[in-house]
Amino acid sequence: MTVSQREGKEASHLKEFAEMMETSEYKHIYGELPTSPLFLSFILEDVVEFGIRRSGRAEIVRRWSNEDSKRPSERRTTES
């Protein structure tokens, strides 16, 4: 996948999420979690990468922590 294709996919995921937030449809998938700034940031990272996925609090934190544990090693690799 090219960079522009990936960016287009990410933009599409964010647009879909924004539309859900405007109509309150997000409540069917995430409950009230997006109203918390911390959980909103976790959800946005997940949405950009994977799209809209039904998730509860524990699942969002688990996925975020798994991805976060990968980030420092990715930074070291790109900084070398």
* Domain total of the chain: 1
Residue 54 sits at φ, ψ, to 5 deg, of: -60, 125
| pTM score | 0.73
Read off the tokens for 75.
């930074």
> In Å, what is the CA distance from 50 to each residue of 20, 37, 73?
16, 20, 21
Render pLDDT for 52-71 as a digit per residue (tens, 0 to 9): 988 888 888 888 888 766 65
Using pLDDT thresholds of 50, 70 and 90, give the confidence band for residue 76.
Answer: very low
Read off the tokens for 66.
């798994």
Return all residues near 26 (Cβ < 8 A) that are at least 6 apart.
17, 20, 34
Per the structure, the complete domain to which residue 41 belongs is given by 3-79
